[in-house]
Amino acid sequence: MKVLFVTHHYLDDNSGGSFASRAYVNAFSEIADSCMLMYPYRGIAIRNFIHPNCILKAVPYNVSKIQKLVDVYRGRLHRYTDVILPQILEFKPDIVVFDNSRTTTGVLKQVKQLGIKTICIHHNYEMEYYRGTKPPLTWRFPFLYYMEKAEKTAIQQADLNLTLTDEDVNLLQIHYDPKKNSKIVKLGSFEPTTSLNFTEDENKTVTTGLNFAITGTLDSYQTEISVLPFLENEYPELLKKLPESKLLIAGRNPSSKMMEACAKHSSINLVANPENIQEVIAQADVYICPTCVGGGLKLRVMDGLKAGLPVLTHTVSARGYTDFEEANSLFSYNDTAGFVAGLNKLLVALNSGDLNKKMIKDLYFSIFSFEAGVTRLKTILNKHKLL
């Protein structure tokens, strides 16, 4: 099986989309006899992130900002419009994997006309996702129009559509495939490599203080609209319950609003641009994800679970983590009263002795390890006769 994998994500980035894309291309590279990756190039090497068997095909996009804006208004949402078909004719893949429906724009029908099988990976239901990220106003409306069109076409015409959560499967079906004629399957997310470090079992008895952690890109719209209200509404309730507790907020490029909000509390330690986010998270006892907008799977929650930490999260960010809710290691809330109730349940679980790092890490490995992801992908491809 020869696979051509096409992504629009910058694979050297630390965003959730880039993390997931690295995992998917590495999984296809592990399974396929030959896999070629077409990726956006911005002068940064990605070889260390990608499976050694994968053939890399960098695609630069050396056009002006004005030309990029014009392209969006013309419905050209990616850099591959003029290069993907020549590459297909040269490489002769059996399957083309489009990482996100954006990369299918203007080329999906042409690829199918060549008799090649197509797979589209949907990281979320795009229209819901962009409500929580707010693209620049100058090109928001044409971009969203063409994105919705591309997403609908991919769902209805690709041979297989993969996504991350059951909720996204349902949303894509409701909006684009109410009769369920298309093949939409949950693949989930997983680690991009096999390197996972597990430590010994650890328990902690709660007194009045715990270390909590929140991470993310600290100047993004999604982070600000979620974390700032959390600090104003939920965090004071946490301090009432645990007055000696500390909150660690870490991530890239904290905005002035974020710094001002953190400065109001002596109990908050703001860590800007840490070199290793997992080392920072390892200092905590509980991970909090207050993200209340957007769609898909919130991969930041994975950072907490990977460290063996119980998670307290907004319901929007609890998608895809049902196994951890059932294991009493992830607790969700929808408002301030729900946050207090969720915090109380978490403290009871910590004090019971049943909740420990080894248990959380073992469950994490069984679902989110690279090996688990490759196994799921093989099963799906075999079922749909694509392997």
Mean pLDDT of the residues in the chain? 93
User: How many C-beta neighbours within 10 Å does residue 182 have?
Assistant: 17
| pLDDT one-digit tens code per residue, 60-90 | 998 898 998 999 999 999 999 999 999 999 9
For the chain, the first-to-last Cα distance in angstroms comes to: 7
The rounded distance, in Å, linking the Cα atoms of 218 and 259 is 9
Query: Residue 176 pLDDT > 50, yes or no?
Result: yes
Q: In CATH terms, are 2-194+369-383 and 211-367 the same topology? A: yes
The rounded distance, in Å, linking the Cα atoms of 61 and 19 is 22
Q: What are the structural domain ranges in the chain? A: 2-194+369-383, 211-367
The rounded distance, in Å, linking the Cα atoms of 104 and 6 is 9
Q: pTM for the complete prediction?
A: 0.90
User: Any alpha helices (H) in the chain, and if so which ranges?
Assistant: 16-31, 65-73, 84-91, 108-113, 126-131, 140-157, 166-176, 221-233, 235-241, 256-263, 277-281, 299-306, 322-326, 336-352, 357-368, 370-383
- Residue 200 is predicted with a pLDDT of 44
| pLDDT one-digit tens code per residue, 85-114 | 999 999 999 999 999 999 999 999 999 999
Q: How many residues does the chain have?
A: 387
- Residue 256 is predicted with a pLDDT of 96
- Residue 206 is predicted with a pLDDT of 47
The rounded distance, in Å, linking the Cα atoms of 205 and 188 is 33
Specify the fold of 211-367: Rossmann fold (3.40.50)
The rounded distance, in Å, linking the Cα atoms of 223 and 258 is 9
Query: Residue 198 pLDDT > 90, yes or no?
Result: no
- Residue 10 is predicted with a pLDDT of 95
The rounded distance, in Å, linking the Cα atoms of 265 and 362 is 35
Tell whether the torsion through CA atoms of 112, 115, 116 and 122 is positive or negative: positive
Cβ–Cβ < 8 Å for 364, 306: yes
- Dihedrals phi, psi of 119, to nearest 5 degrees: -125, 135
Strand order in the sheet with 211-217: 268-272, 246-252, 211-217, 286-289, 311-314, 330-333
Give me the DSSP letters along 175-244.
HH-TT--S-EEE-----SSS------------SS--EEEEEEETTSHHHHHHHHHHHHHTHHHHHHH-TT
Query: Residue 300 pLDDT > 60, yes or no?
Result: yes
For the chain, what is the radius of gyration of the CA atoms? Answer: 21
| pLDDT one-digit tens code per residue, 223-279 | 999 999 999 999 999 999 999 999 999 999 999 999 999 999 999 999 999 989 999
Domain covering 2-194+369-383 assigned CATH 3.40.50.300 in the classification: no
pLDDT confidence of 16, banded at 50, 70, 90? confident
The rounded distance, in Å, linking the Cα atoms of 96 and 108 is 9
Scan for tokens 């949907």, then name that residue. Answer: 122
The rounded distance, in Å, linking the Cα atoms of 283 and 305 is 13
Would you call 280 helix, strand, or coil by DSSP? helix
Would you call 150 helix, strand, or coil by DSSP? helix
The rounded distance, in Å, linking the Cα atoms of 18 and 174 is 27
